[in-house]
Amino acid sequence: MTKSLYEMMNGGFTTVMKQHFVDYFVGKSLNTDYWEVGNSSGSAGTWAMSDFGLCFTSGTGTSQGEIFFNNKRQYDGRGCAMIVTQASEFDMDQRGSGFGNDPTVNDMPEHLIVRVSHAGWSSDKSTPNVVHFQIQDTSQSPTYQTLKCGNNSSTGFNTYKIEAKNSSEECSVNGVLAGTITSPVFAANTKLQPFIRAKHGYTPPIVARKFWVKYVEAWNT
């Protein structure tokens, strides 16, 4: 009798496993039953499967594109986690991954995101190439918190994990805890969806840039 994946992930059958999602981004094309493709700001980019997973090619100039669950928000803001493996062609673009309430909105009222590369999104623009970790919930006080994790945001493939808990949020880079935020935390019963975003920010290059993602796993803890 062979085992089930359920048992291995959940430690048995006695508790009911919560919502979970995995995508390896392999195959002919993006599974658009799972993912919606959007362009929330600036010029439109394109998403297509490549030799290195799913590739986002930005528009030129300011550009912000994302994939998300089309506002099917099945993840709990006080008990969810996400792992993403991603890379970028050029360190002036920004790639961000995490949970949000509505990625079609440029500045989502509720989001938890790990952001890599140039810090144009940060107030400290003189310190590029640092992994940033941010939570925002406009119903809370303070409304947001941004943490510079101290890790270099290299352009190669790295694995990032974020986790939202009852009283804190954590960010890990390649399996090592990189930062913890304790305030704010999401309001109770905040529902979120995974999203992957690539952006040319405040000082955009004049040519298209590429960004790759080859693994996403999201789950309620």
Partner 1 sequence: MTKSLHELFASDIKPRTRFVEHFSGDALDTFRWDTTLVNNGTVAMSDTSNGGLILSTGTSSGTSSAQIDFGDKKQFGGASSIIWTAIHSHSATGESYSGLTAGSTQGSGAQGIYSYVNTAWKTTNFDLYTVGAGGNTWTNGTIAGLTSNHSHKLELTGTSGKSFVDGALNCESTTNLPIAKMQPSFGLSSTDTTNKTINITYCEAWEN
List residues binding partner 1 (CB under 8 A).
1-6, 8, 10, 12-22, 31-36, 69-76, 189, 191, 218, 220
Query: Using DSSP, how many helices (H) and how many strands (E) does the chain show?
Result: 1, 16
Cβ nearer to partner 1, comparing 22 with 48: 22
Rounded CA-CA distance 182/86 in Å is 26
Three-state DSSP class for residue 1: coil
Rounded CA-CA distance 44/152 in Å is 28
Give least dist CB 201 to partner 1, A.
27
The helix or strand, by DSSP H or E, that contains position 10, with its residue range, turns out to be: helix 5-10
Cβ nearer to partner 1, comparing 72 with 125: 72
Give least dist CB 62 to partner 1, A.
26
Give least dist CB 15 to partner 1, A.
7
CB-based contact 176:150 (threshold 8 Å): no
Give least dist CB 35 to partner 1, A.
6
Give least dist CB 4 to partner 1, A.
6
The helix or strand, by DSSP H or E, that contains position 5, with its residue range, turns out to be: helix 5-10
Q: Could you say which DSSP state residue 31 is in?
A: -
Rounded CA-CA distance 83/213 in Å is 11
Q: Could you say which DSSP state residue 43 is in?
A: B
Give least dist CB 40 to partner 1, A.
16
Contacts of 65 (CB under 8 A, 6+ apart): 37, 38, 39, 40, 44, 45, 46, 47, 56, 58, 59, 197, 198, 199
